[in-house]
């Protein structure tokens, strides 16, 4: 049986000042990712392959905080996290604190096919070399605007003499993490997510993105979810699994479940958003911030992208 496919992507949530930057390149980046994922789905490919293809395109676009264009740690380095999850088997793969991978989502996919779920740091890098992944030089990930954000944040912190107490927040409060969720024509769901984390984060800090149940979840019984926002809060609220649980155990709709899970993040003091698709192909793209870079496409329909409500 084949059913119409559905794909949604995000390029991060946050307080994005309307009119402050040229939005066109962000829309274009989201469209490239939708096209990459849709090319897989339109040929009858799997949701898993589609979300990996979409996220890979976003990792290669330096405007977003993943792969090339990732934010800097407080030590002016890059430490990236990524994950994938297959809703048909509950197989998952994730990497945390990787420094040389052009496409961390590809390594997460390879981890998924191993005996492990989550590999970090040097061990993840070693696993990458063992599986033939090329090590990119640090300069590949560098972007001037991300380095300027780090310096701005560190200067502000040092001026306030509060360096030890400054939370690793992006000074523009843009969470540029990227992600994708899909329903394929065989009725299977999958999710992927990839991030550089938060500007000025402490070396070794790991956010919600590579943690199954926090920043990512997929289960054919209910939905596929990919999150973006202040990771510490998404971890504490187990956001992605919470959305699944509300649907599977309490019979909530995708909209109600994702709204309620995000409300809990807000109650704790966090902000951000999720993209989610259910097994009927319904899409929910809620966020509790001024905007969220997002896009979606369904079989036979034109792709759509948005940043703000309209």
Q: Which is nearer to ligand ASP, 44 or 204 (CB)?
A: 204
Residues 6 or more apart whose CB falls under 8 angstroms from that of 152 comprise 171
Q: Which is nearer to ligand ASP, 44 or 203 (CB)?
A: 203
From the list 123-131, 207-215, 237-245, 298-306, the region that binds ligand ASP by CB under 6 A is 207-215
Does 73 qualify as catalytic in the annotation?
no
Of 73, 177, 199, 228, which residue is the catalytic one? 177
Contact 241, 249 (CB under 8 A): no
Site for ligand ASP in 106-165 (CB under 6 A): none
Least separation in angstroms between residue 255's CB and ligand ASP is: 21
Contact 172, 200 (CB under 8 A): no
Q: Distance from first CA to last CA of the chain, Å, rounded?
A: 36
d(CA 205, CA 86): 26
Q: Is the dihedral of CA 86, 292, 11, 66 positive or negative?
A: negative
Decide if residue 175 touches ligand ASP (CB under 6 A). yes
Cβ-proximal residue to ligand ASP, closest one: 231
Site for ligand ASP in 40-79 (CB under 6 A): 65
Pick the binder of ligand ASP from 87, 176, 213, 286 (CB under 6 A). Answer: 176
SS3 290: coil
Decide if residue 226 touches ligand ASP (CB under 6 A). no
Pick the binder of ligand ASP from 229, 286, 291, 295 (CB under 6 A). Answer: 229
Least separation in angstroms between residue 184's CB and ligand ASP is: 25
Residue 2 token pair? 């084949």
Please name which of 228, 190, 239 lies closest in space to residue 52, comparing C-alpha atoms. 190
Least separation in angstroms between residue 4's CB and ligand ASP is: 29
From the list 26-34, 114-122, 225-233, 297-305, the region that binds ligand ASP by CB under 6 A is 225-233
Site for ligand ASP in 251-280 (CB under 6 A): 272
From the list 16-24, 40-48, 110-118, 206-214, the region that binds ligand ASP by CB under 6 A is 206-214
Largest Cα–Cα distance of the chain, in whole Å?
Answer: 63
The number of residues that bind ligand ASP (CB under 6 A) is 16
Contact 118, 216 (CB under 8 A): no
Backbone angles phi and psi of 38, in degrees to 5: -65, -35
DSSP 31-99: HHHHHHHHHHHHTT--HHHHHHHHHHHHHTSTTSSSSTTPPPBTTS---EEEEEEETTTTEEEEEEEES
Task: Give me the residues that bind ligand ASP (CB under 6 A), please.
Answer: 12, 65, 175-177, 195, 197-198, 207-209, 215, 228-229, 231, 272
Catalytic residues: 177
């Amino acid at each position: 049986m084949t059913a119409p496919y559905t794909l949604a992507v995000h390029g991060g949530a946050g307080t994005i000042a309307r009119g402050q930057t040229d939005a066109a390149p962000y829309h274009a980046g989201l469209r490239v990712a939708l096209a990459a994922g849709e090319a897989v789905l339109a040929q009858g490919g799997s949701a898993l392959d589609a979300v990996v293809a979409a996220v890979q395109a976003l990792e290669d676009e330096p405007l977003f905080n993943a792969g090339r264009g990732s934010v800097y740690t407080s030590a002016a380095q890059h430490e990236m996290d990524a994950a994938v999850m297959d809703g048909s088997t509950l197989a998952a793969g994730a990497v945390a604190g990787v420094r040389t991978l052009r496409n961390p989502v590809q390594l997460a996919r390879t981890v998924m096919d191993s005996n492990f779920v989550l590999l970090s740091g040097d061990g993840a890098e070693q696993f990458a070399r063992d599986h033939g992944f090329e090590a990119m030089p640090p300069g590949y990930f560098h972007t001037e605007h991300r380095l300027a954000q780090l310096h701005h944040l560190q200067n502000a912190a040092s001026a306030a003499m509060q360096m030890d107490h400054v939370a690793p927040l992006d000074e523009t409060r843009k969470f540029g993490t990227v992600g994708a969720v899909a329903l394929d024509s065989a009725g299977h769901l999958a999710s992927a997510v990839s991030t550089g984390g938060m500007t000025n984060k402490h070396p070794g800090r790991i956010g919600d993105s590579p943690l199954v149940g926090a920043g990512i979840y997929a289960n054919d019984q209910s939905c596929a979810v990919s999150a973006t926002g202040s990771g510490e809060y998404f971890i504490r609220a187990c956001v992605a699994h919470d959305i699944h649980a509300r649907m599977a155990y309490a019979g909530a709709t995708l909209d109600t479940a994702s709204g309620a899970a995000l409300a809990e993040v807000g109650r704790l003091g966090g902000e951000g958003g999720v993209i989610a698709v259910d097994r009927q192909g319904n899409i929910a793209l809620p966020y509790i911030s001024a905007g969220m870079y997002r896009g979606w496409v369904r079989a036979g329909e034109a792709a759509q992208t948005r940043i703000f409500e309209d």
